[in-house]
Amino acid sequence: MPRSRTRTPSGRTRTQRADFVVAAMPPMVMARLKHNLGTDITAALKYAVPTPVGKIGLEYRSRWWETDEHIYGGITPTDTDLATIWYPSYGHQGRRGTLIGYYNFGANAVAYSDLPHAQRLARAVSRGVKIHGDKYRTELDHSFSVAWHRTPHIEAGWVDWPSQTGPEYKLLNQPAGHVYFAATGSAMSSPGSTARSPRPARS
């Protein structure tokens, strides 16, 4: 029977037992946990390649992209380090709105994540002004940015697999005893990849 130990804020150790475990944490994070599933499982979890991903949310005092430019949802692909600008597909014709000022990954995401938020914002807005004009700066009210690869316990936007037909990926798409790996082929996979359904557990 699987069991896990966690430490409470008071410093006490709490043990929990269950018939099955669905491990949904990112594979490279789980690879660092102590377990008794075997070194082949650890090696397979380490096989995943984390992808740096970043976003910035820009809240505006008006929804100028709708009233002035007739943009209702969707994205603007760019040839800059912003990668894409995303527009909200809800709240149309409302008073305020938030769009995604960049949704980038790889080297661009790392470059932005190395900056403090104020510099991320200034850099993103300077690019956006070239696309949408001064209102991209003058109507801005609040902002928030995130770098998933620098977020504890997540450490990536998703993972890529050097091969989805090799032994590592196949191993994690079947249970290790009573432990199933839910984040290895779906939630943390590269876009467009297909997860296999786990095999039935054997008693």
pLDDT of residue 148: 95
Residue 199 pLDDT class (50, 70, 90 cuts): very low
Query: Is residue 25's pLDDT more than 70?
Result: yes
Query: Is residue 198's pLDDT more than 80?
Result: no
* Whole-number Å distance between alpha carbons of 154 and 188: 10
pLDDT of residue 64: 97
What radius of gyration do the chain's Cα atoms show?
21
Backbone φ/ψ region at 98: left (φ over 0), alpha (ψ -120 to 50), beta: beta
* Whole-number Å distance between alpha carbons of 193 and 45: 17
Residue 4 pLDDT class (50, 70, 90 cuts): low
**pLDDT (tens digit, 9 = 90+) per residue, 36-94?**
899 999 999 999 999 999 999 999 999 999 999 999 999 999 999 999 999 999 999 99
Write down all domains in the chain, each with its CATH number in brackets: 14-52+156-203 (3.50.50.60), 54-149 (3.90.660.10)
pLDDT of residue 9: 82
Residue 13 pLDDT class (50, 70, 90 cuts): confident
pLDDT of residue 195: 34
H or E element at residue 129: helix 117-132
Query: Is residue 202's pLDDT more than 50?
Result: no
Beta strands in 96-137 (DSSP E): 97-105
pLDDT of residue 186: 39
Please give the DSSP secondary-structure letter assigned to residue 139.
T
Residue with tokens 């876009």: 191
Are 58 and 17 in contact, with CB atoms under 8 Å apart? no
**pLDDT (tens digit, 9 = 90+) per residue, 148-195?**
999 999 999 999 999 999 999 999 999 999 999 987 543 334 333 333
Amino acid at 47: Y
* Whole-number Å distance between alpha carbons of 154 and 162: 20
108-124: average pLDDT? 98
Maximum C-alpha span of the chain: 65
Structure tokens at 80: 């800059």
Helix, strand or coil, per DSSP, at residue 76: strand
Query: Is residue 18's pLDDT more than 80?
Result: yes
